[in-house]
Amino acid sequence: MRGAVAACLALCAVMSALAQENGDLDRIPQAVQDEPVAPPPDATAHGKYFLEDDFVLSSARGALTVPSPSPSSSDWANRLSFDAFDQWSLGGDLTLTYSDRLSVTEADGIAFPSEAVRNNLREAYLSWEPLAQTYLEVGRINLKNGIALGFNPTDFFKTRTAVAQASADPSALREDRLGTLMLRAQTIWDGGSLTFAFAPRIHTPRAITGPLPNAMDPGFDQTNTADRFLLALNFEIEELSPQLLFYHESGRTKFGFNISHPIGQSVIAYAEWAGGVQSNLIAQAIDFGKATGTLPAAAPFLPPATAARAFQNDLAIGASWTSAEKVTLNLEYHYHQAGFGQNDWRNWLDIGTADPSAAPELWYVRGFASDQQQPMTRHQVFLRADWQDAFIPNLELSAISFVNFYDGSGLSQLSASYYLSDRWTVGGYVGGTFGGRHSEWGSLPSDTSAIFQLVRYF
């Protein structure tokens, strides 16, 4: 309760400060603006290619309240990646888009090459413009929806798409993830757009745990395991930018809504909602574990939960403030009705402490939430700060933090990037979890980490 009160006070204080500042509306990041997907850029432009090296040092907690069934990970790692993005004109209003990352990781306990080498085919699709401002696309596409930064209820294609990277910022995770094999059609007009997407089922779902697939495996057993449909309508009403969404997957339908509105010259307020009939997070995890063979068919629901389906709401509401000094602050409140309430957290901790043999299933629920990119907890606060040209030109500083509304525990990460030249960037990340042993984030095995990053562009 103290954590919830503190978070509420912080929310009120920051929102009050935001309302008193003035700046330039054009500095508001595109991530918080709900704009239609832009037409394909000039395909004659050169793509983006770079090498990235991330050296990681990390530390783990000692005695955990609920013992982790997974072996301790290496306290160091080095990941070298080659990243490529490009587009080519094929003539006849046809464009090919390609985005890929090939990585080699070195760390204690990682077998080479079966575990060390990994290729992530993020996007590979064809675009055709049969009519002006009307586009047909087919292939692997990273389809993103939502205007919030920390949690996107309407980002229906985010599940099971995360790839390893240095940043814990959800905005970065959204851009650098696996796309979904789909057909997308879009038409754009003055003041709006209409998008339809169909992603077919082409594979049975892969288990969350177990051996890794072949290094070049495209991962369609993560992104295309059910027939999915999406219809999205964007339009403009004065200074509002609403979006309506309809999503259907395996007999389950969800509705979504996004809206943003400027307040003065420096603040944009926004809200994102999605809702539909489904089971809670615990039931979803146990059902998926049984379906993929990870959990036995007779496994109980741990922590105890009802298997009944009900209408569940997801909400992200927040505001962005930008100053003339290129400082941007985002503050959001997240509500995930299917997530853990206070009693669920108490049961998770109590059962794991009293019965260590139940730990694998308890941790499986948390692993499932991470794999689906769902919040674990029902209520949380998200804060993001970004400062471009901080102190000196070409230096960017950023910070993010998630805070559990119930116990005040959280995850934070600070980052710095300095652009040495058009070819070289050097950066670093320092982050960790905080909170007591009986809290959401304080019960995790990971404690702190530091990452040194060097990027060479071509």
- Is residue 36 scored above 70 in pLDDT? no
Tens of pLDDT along 58-80?
999 988 999 998 888 899 999 99
- Is residue 25 scored above 60 in pLDDT? no
CA distance 82 to 104: 9
- Is residue 7 scored above 80 in pLDDT? no
Query: If we measure between CA atoms, which residue out of 316, 335, 234 comes closest to residue 269?
Result: 316
Q: Say which amino acid occupies 142.
A: N
- In this predicted structure, which of 20-34, 188-202, 370-384 has the lowest mean pLDDT? 20-34
Kindly write down the DSSP assignment for every residue of 259-280, as one continuous string.
EEEEETTTEEEEEEEEEEEE--
What separation in angstroms does the CA of 62 have from each of 68, 201, 253, 445?
11, 43, 43, 8
Which residues constitute the domain of residue 277?
A: 2-457
- Is residue 43 scored above 60 in pLDDT? no
Q: Which two tokens stand for residue 100?
A: 């890929």
How sure is the predictor about 28, in pLDDT bands with cuts at 50, 70 and 90?
very low
Q: How many CB atoms lie within 10 A of CB 379?
A: 21
Q: Say which amino acid occupies 124.
A: A
How sure is the predictor about 5, in pLDDT bands with cuts at 50, 70 and 90?
very low
Percent of residues, the chain, with pLDDT higher than 90: 85
Please report where in the chains the tokens 């029902």 appear, as a residue: 378
- Is residue 294 scored above 90 in pLDDT? yes
CA distance 392 to 369: 40
In this predicted structure, what is the pLDDT of residue 380?
98
Q: Say which amino acid occupies 171.
A: S
- Is residue 9 scored above 80 in pLDDT? no
CA distance 399 to 246: 33
Q: Which two tokens stand for residue 40?
A: 């394909």
CATH of the domain at 224: 2.40.160.10
In this predicted structure, what is the pLDDT of residue 75?
96
Query: If we measure between CA atoms, which residue out of 272, 287, 80 comes closest to residue 170?
Result: 272
Is the preceding peptide bond at 242 cis, omega within 30 degrees of 0?
Answer: no
- Is residue 401 scored above 90 in pLDDT? yes
With beta carbons less than 8 A apart as the criterion, state whether 97 and 87 touch.
yes
Count of domains observed in the chain: 1
What separation in angstroms does the CA of 379 have from each of 77, 137, 171, 315, 336?
33, 37, 20, 10, 7
- Is residue 23 scored above 70 in pLDDT? no
CA distance 144 to 29: 16
Q: How many CB atoms lie within 10 A of CB 428?
A: 16
Please report where in the chains the tokens 């290094």 appear, as a residue: 215
Higher-scoring residue by pLDDT: 64, 25: 64
Tens of pLDDT along 382-398?
999 999 999 999 999 99
Cα–chain-centroid distance for residue 141?
Answer: 16
Locate the DSSP E strands across 37-111. Answer: 48-60, 76-91, 94-107
Higher-scoring residue by pLDDT: 4, 253: 253
In this predicted structure, what is the pLDDT of residue 72?
82
In this predicted structure, what is the pLDDT of residue 20?
38
- Is residue 261 scored above 60 in pLDDT? yes
CA distance 282 to 295: 13
Q: Which two tokens stand for residue 400?
A: 């993010």
CA distance 302 to 433: 24
Tens of pLDDT along 199-256?
999 999 999 998 889 999 999 999 999 999 999 999 988 888 899 999 999 989 999 9
Query: If we measure between CA atoms, which residue out of 362, 365, 398, 366 comes closest to residue 383?
Result: 398
Average pLDDT of span 101-121: 95
Average pLDDT of span 175-195: 97
Q: What is the dihedral of CA 129, 130, 135, 137, to 10 degrees?
A: -90
Q: Which two tokens stand for residue 394?
A: 């070409």
CA distance 153 to 174: 13
CA distance 11 to 9: 5
How does the average pLDDT of the chain come out, rounded? 90
In this predicted structure, what is the pLDDT of residue 256?
98
Average pLDDT of span 1-28: 38
Q: How many CB atoms lie within 10 A of CB 279?
A: 19
Q: Which two tokens stand for residue 294?
A: 């990870």
CA distance 221 to 232: 25
How sure is the predictor about 46, in pLDDT bands with cuts at 50, 70 and 90?
low
In this predicted structure, what is the pLDDT of residue 62?
85
How sure is the predictor about 143, in pLDDT bands with cuts at 50, 70 and 90?
very high
In this predicted structure, what is the pLDDT of residue 13?
38
Tens of pLDDT along 312-369?
999 999 999 999 999 999 999 999 999 999 999 999 999 999 999 999 999 999 999 9
- Is residue 181 scored above 80 in pLDDT? yes
- Is residue 379 scored above 60 in pLDDT? yes
In this predicted structure, what is the pLDDT of residue 37?
43
- Is residue 381 scored above 60 in pLDDT? yes
- Is residue 6 scored above 70 in pLDDT? no
